[in-house]
Structure 1
Amino acid sequence: MKSLRFPCALARLALAFGLALAGTAVLAPRPAAAQETPAAAPARDTTQNAALRAFLDCNDFGCDEEFLVSEMKWVNWMRDRLDADFHLLVTTLRTGSGGREFTVVALGQRRFAGRADTLTFVTNPNDAEDTIRRALLRTMGQLLLPYAARGPLGSLLSVSYTAPTTGEGAAPPPARDKWDFWTFSLSANGFLNGESRQSFRNGWFDVNANRTTEAWKIRVSGNSSYDESRFTFALDSVTDTTIVALQRSWSTSAMAVRSLGDHWSAGGRIGAQRADFNNLELGTSAAAAVEWDYYPYKDFARRKLAVLYTVGMRSFQYQQVTIYDRLRETRPVHTLDVTLAARQKWGEANVTVYGSQFLDGLKYYSAGVSGGVNVRLGRGFSFNIDGSLSRVRDQLFLERGDASQSEVLTRLRALQTNYRYFTFFGVRYQFGSIFNSVVNPRFGNIDGGRGFSVSF
Structure 2
Amino acid sequence: MLRFLTIFTLLFCFAFINVRAAEKPEKDVRIKSRGSLSYNKREAKIKVYIEGVRLDMDYMRRNMRFADFVNDPAVADVHIIINNRVSGSGGMVYSLMYNNLTFENFSDFTITCTTLADDTNEEERQKLKDALSLGLMPFVNQTKASDQLSFRYRGDVEPGQVEIVEDPWRNWTFRADVSGRVNLEESKKNYNYSFYGRADKVTEDIRIRNNARRSVNTQKYTTEGEEYRSDNTSTYASSSTVKSLSSRWSTGLFGSFYNSNYRNTKYSVSVKPAVEYNIFPWDVSDRKVFTIAYYIGPEWMKYYEESIYDKMEESLWEQSLRLDLQIVQTWGEVKAGLNATNYMHDWTKNRITFDTDLSVRIIRGLSVRMGFTVENVHDQIYLPKGEISLEDVLLNKVQLPSSFEVGANVGIRVQFGSIYNNIVNNRM
Instruction: Indicate the TM-score class for this superposition, using the shorter chain for normalisation.
Output: 0.7 to 0.9
Matching residue of 1:100: 92
Matches within 5 A, 1:86-235: 86-111=78-103, 115-162=107-154, 164-166=155-157, 168-233=158-223
The share of aligned pairs that are identical, in percent, is: 24
Matching residue of 1:354: 339
Give 1:271 shift: 1.3
Matching residue of 2:267: 282
Matching residue of 1:367: 352
Matching of residue 437 in structure 1 with residue 422 in structure 2: yes
**C-alpha contact (below 8 Å) 2:296/2:318 kept by paired residues:** yes
Matching residue of 1:59: 53
Specify which of 45, 50, 75 is matched with residue 44 of structure 2: 50
Give 1:111 shift: 4.6
Matches within 5 A, 1:403-422: 403-422=388-407
Give 1:49 shift: 8.6
Alignment CA distance shift 1:263-1:329 (3 Å): same
Alignment CA distance shift 1:146-1:48 (3 Å): closer
Give 1:196 shift: 2.2
Matching residue of 2:3: none
For 1:232 and 1:322, locate their aligned partners in 2 and report how far apart those are by CA, in whole Å.
Answer: 31
For 2:53 and 2:167, locate their aligned partners in 1 and report how far apart those are by CA, in whole Å.
Answer: 32
**C-alpha contact (below 8 Å) 2:352/2:377 kept by paired residues:** yes
Specify which of 298, 313, 331 is matched with residue 313 of structure 1: 298
For 1:112 and 1:130, locate their aligned partners in 2 and report how far apart those are by CA, in whole Å.
Answer: 36
**C-alpha contact (below 8 Å) 1:391/1:418 kept by paired residues:** yes
Q: For 2:319, give the aligned amino acid.
A: H
Give 1:113 shift: 8.6
Give 1:289 shift: 0.3
**C-alpha contact (below 8 Å) 2:66/2:146 kept by paired residues:** no
Matching residue of 1:16: none
Matching residue of 1:291: 276
Give 1:287 shift: 0.6
Give 1:54 shift: 0.3
SS in 1 for 2:346: coil
**C-alpha contact (below 8 Å) 1:192/1:202 kept by paired residues:** yes
TM-score of the two chains, using structure 2 as the length reference: 0.87
SS in 2 for 1:144: helix
- Which deviations, in whole Å up to 9, do the C-alpha atoms of 1:285-305 show, x marking residues without a partner? 111100000011122222100
**C-alpha contact (below 8 Å) 1:149/1:157 kept by paired residues:** no
In structure 2, list runs of 5 or more residues that go unmatched.
Answer: 1-40
For 1:155 and 1:210, locate their aligned partners in 2 and report how far apart those are by CA, in whole Å.
Answer: 47
Q: For 2:82, give the aligned amino acid.
A: V
Alignment CA distance shift 1:375-1:313 (3 Å): same
SS in 2 for 1:145: helix
Number of aligned residue pairs: 388
In structure 1, list runs of 5 or more residues that go unmatched.
Answer: 1-46, 234-238, 444-456
Give 1:254 shift: 1.0
Give 1:391 shift: 0.7
TM-score of the two chains, using structure 1 as the length reference: 0.82
Alignment CA distance shift 1:224-1:403 (3 Å): same
**C-alpha contact (below 8 Å) 1:48/1:74 kept by paired residues:** no
Give 1:436 shift: 4.5
